[in-house]
Amino acid sequence: MVLALHEKGLFSWGEWADTLSSQLKKPGVAADGSDYYDCWLRALEALLAAKSLASPQHVESLAAAWQRAAHATPHGKPILLENDPERTAALWPSAEKQDS
């Protein structure tokens, strides 16, 4: 996702490196790097918010929707956001179009 957003010109590699670096330097980050993915994710979320691409609330709502979709998807089947039993047009604008 970071690569795709960068390729669309939404931020530079310097911006990404600075944002990730600031997350990695925060107090409480594991010295062994075991929480690197968590830092990476927080950096992406911070950059999305800083660039007004997605609010923290929208990211949180979308993450919850994916979690519900995962629980509603039979084992071995692809997880699709459309499988979220609580999907709404606010989170997934095409949901209304698909239902019509």
Same domain assignment for residues 41 and 63:
no
Q: Give 100's pLDDT tier (boundaries 50, 70, 90).
A: very low
Same domain assignment for residues 42 and 6:
yes
Q: What are phi and psi of 55, to 5 degrees?
A: -75, 155
Exposed, middle or buried, 43 (CB in 10 Å: 0-12/13-18/19+)? buried
pLDDT of residue 95: 45
26-51: per-residue pLDDT in tens? 999 999 999 999 999 999 999 999 99
Same domain assignment for residues 93 and 67:
yes
Same domain assignment for residues 46 and 12:
yes
The boundaries of the domain holding residue 9 are: 2-50
Same domain assignment for residues 7 and 45:
yes
Q: How far apart are CA 3 and CA 65, in angstroms?
A: 23
> Is the pLDDT assigned to residue 19 strictly greater than 90?
yes
Same domain assignment for residues 28 and 8:
yes
* Count of the separate structural domains present in the chain: 2
Same domain assignment for residues 44 and 65:
no
Same domain assignment for residues 64 and 88:
yes
Please, what is the average pLDDT of the chain?
A: 88
